[in-house]
Structure 1
Amino acid sequence: MEDQTADLASDGKLDLTSDPEPTSARSEPSLERYNPDPQRDNVRKKIAYWLLVILTFDVVGAFVLLGTQNFLGIKTDDIRTLVELLFTPTVTLLGAVTGFYYATHGNKSGGDHTGK
């Protein structure tokens, strides 16, 4: 690399009459096809993890409500109704996401999981 002080004249002024040498060669842009699979897998994992977190909160919350129902004055039937409203769709979504995740991975590997 050329000494950067060479462009300075003896009186301290910058000499811009010559073109500087490029410091790095330009690279050609790559023309690879976009593959959305890594991002898609990460999003599916995040959705599955969040559904697991929600399911954990549902279960822990149900046990906390059952343990404190005497202090809070809540009936067991009310807790059962609340758990059914929260637990059922969470388990259904988690099952659908898990099944879809493993079904797409089975298709990528080329394996036939239908038993035929």
Structure 2
Amino acid sequence: MLIYKIFRAPEWQVLVDHGETTGAPIDVTDGFVHFSTAAQAAETAAKHFTAEEGLTLVALEADALGDALKWEVSRGGALFPHLYRKMQMADVLWHKPLPLVDGSHQFPEDIV
């Protein structure tokens, strides 16, 4: 199963430049890297990245993250994937721009 992380440009650049990241400021505060499933990603973008441009959508294989990935109750009682270690560039299967068009982020067709 693929899981997804949305990065702002500076956050994505840290991963590209250093090969690993502790994530966004909220991830550092919470002590884990927040991810979303395909079904959760659009709502995550709307809730936490309203009107933000220059985002990157990153896909990872959940099973490849092993025991460091925990599924925990979050927004609306749904289970969300949380990574309890640094995210590595080697974890990334693919990344794509997440353009903002008329106020909505445009997700790739294969995950909506």
Scaled by the length of structure 1, what TM-score is found? 0.19
Scaled by the length of structure 2, what TM-score is found? 0.20
Q: Determine which structure has the larger helix proportion and give its number.
A: 1
Of structures 1 and 2, the larger Rg is shown by 1
Q: Determine which structure has the larger strand proportion and give its number.
A: 2
Flag the structure with more relative contact order, 1 or 2, with Cα contacts below 8 A and sequence separation at least 6: 2
